[in-house]
Structure 1
Amino acid sequence: MTDLSTFQITRRWPARYPDRIQLYSLPTPNGVKVSIMLEETGLAYEPHLVDFGRADQKTPEFLSLNPNGKIPAIIDPDGPGGRPLALFESGTILLYLAEKTGKFLPIDPAQRWQAVQWLMFQMGGVGPMFGQLGFFHKFDGKDYDDKRPRDRYVAETQRLLAVMDGWLAGRSWFVGEDYSIADIAMLGWVRNLIGFYEAREIVGFDRFTHVAAWLERGLARPAVQRGLDIPSRA
């Protein structure tokens, strides 16, 4: 039996199945990247809800795993060399799980780097910009009299959607016909933009027809549907 007791985080979130990957997360756009990937790969894992309402992400136990205090994070009891490995940052975890399973990251070097470049596009652009738009459109920022910050992020979100839309013309997924970690990284963010952030109209989402068709294809995948609700908030 794998012993994970050396990891401080297991004192707050005990592992019932220590031989499985331990997932510490919340079903946010960043969090669901990893739960979707785990569902897609079929790896055995145990999810633990990190409740932002209780500031779980700021506790010493969580910070011992991710000093940046962000979800998601994992412990793989069967890491390189058979030793447990702890990781944070959603993009890093996607790359790790793709390497571990040989899935959703093309073998061909050129296509592989295409997948990585679109993953970086999500990490550096889509996530931060969509998130800022959500703040200024739906949350506290909406009450600011000065609408220039909101308008800036509306414009940048539209620009990013246009980049995505142009690339997806004639393609099913971001790497041609191969569904990959690039798609997994972006699905939750685009869904959140027009759903939870209620920004469909303000960004004119319906004119980005290729992105809309790609989102529909992605959300139809059973593993995506399951992963979007993991860990359960109940």
Structure 2
Amino acid sequence: MISLYSAATPNGYKASIALEEMGLEYKLHAFDLGANTQKEEWFLGINPNGRIPAIVDHDNSDFAVFESGAILLYLAEKTGELIPHEAKARSVAQQWLMFQMGGVGPMQGQAHVFFRYFPEKIPSVIERYQNETRRLYSVLNRRLSESPYLAGDAFSIADIANWTWVRSYEWAGVSLEGLDHLKRWLDAIAERPAVKRGLLQPVRSEQREKVVKAGQSMLQR
């Protein structure tokens, strides 16, 4: 059994989708980010950074893992699933995972903040993050013109990590026009049964209004 501490965010969905894809038994503890539960002392013992997602693997001496990319890697290592076994192919999957962690996530995250939440509308800042997000999308599109998935022929944790962010392109105000390979990939992953189930853990509609109303407080999460 794995305890999943999460919320309806791109990073949160990485963990729930991976757990569903791997068929692992888990219990969801859904957080209301506006209530700052993730900053409470008990949770800081699981994730010192006070953010979601985090997991506790009760089958491994209650081992806690935080950071969404680290969770994906841990679960892949635990099950041997969604990551290639051959060394070079494995590295390719890890590279595209880190591409999301270091690029798509931070840049699109800032696009979300300044386009949707920030109290002042600063066009130059919004444009800067939207343009960089679009550039990163074009990198993904080029890769996906070469192979069905980011790590090659098989769906992997690299796809989960990037997909959970790219699927919210409209929320960031970024267009997918001309990125046909990226669109094909988005649509294909959206049809996976385990992905559909993962997106219900928790249901986004239950969180959206709270996130929007949180406004400036979201800048600290």
State the TM-score, normalizing by the size of structure 1.
0.84
**CA distance in structure 1 between the aligned counterparts of 2:201 and 2:190, rounded to whole angstroms:** 15
Matched letter for residue 181 of structure 1? I
Distance in 2 between residues matched to 1:84 and 1:72, nearest whole Å: 16
Partner Cα distance (2:172, 2:128) in 1:
17
Give a deviation string over 1:68-99, Cα, whole Å, max 9, x none.
011000110112xxx22111001011001001
Report the counterpart of residue 190 of structure 1 in structure 2: 166
1:63 is aligned, of 32, 44, 47, to 44
Structure 1 gaps of 5+ residues are 1-19
- Structure 1 Cα separation of the partners of residues 45 and 22 of structure 2: 27
Give structure 1 regions of 4+ aligned residues with deviation exceeding 6 angstroms: none
Among candidates 190, 196, 209, match of residue 225 of structure 1: 196
Kindly indicate whether residue 52 of structure 2 is the aligned counterpart of residue 76 of structure 1. Answer: no
Inter-CA distance 71–208: structure 2 relative to 1 (3 Å threshold): same
The residue identity in structure 2 corresponding to 1:32 is Y
2:112 equivalent among 124, 127, 134: 134
* Partner AA of 1:163 in structure 2: V
Q: Does 1:159 align with 2:135?
A: yes
DSSP 3-state at the match of 1:30: helix
**Number of the residue aligned with 2:212:** none
Once the two structures are superposed, residues 124-159 of structure 1 have per-residue CA deviations (whole angstroms, 9 ceiling, x without a partner) of: 000010011111112225x32x31111111110111
The alignment covers a number of residue pairs equal to: 205
**Amino acid aligned to 2:144:** L
Counterpart Cα distance in 2 of 1:198 and 1:126: 12
Output the aligned Cα RMSD: 1.4
CA distance in 1, matches of 2:112, 2:118: 10
Q: Which residue of 1 aligns with 2:217?
A: none
Percent of aligned pairs with the same residue?
Answer: 48
1:178 paired to 2:159 = no
| Counterparts in 2 of 1:158 and 1:152: CA distance versus 1, 3 Å | same
On the 8 A contact 1:24/1:49 being kept in 2, the answer is yes
> C-alpha deviations, 1:81-123, integer Å up to 9, x for none?
xx22111001011001001101000011110000000000000
Query: How far did residue 198 of structure 1 move?
Result: 5.3
1:108–1:229 CA distance, 2 compared to 1 (3 A): same
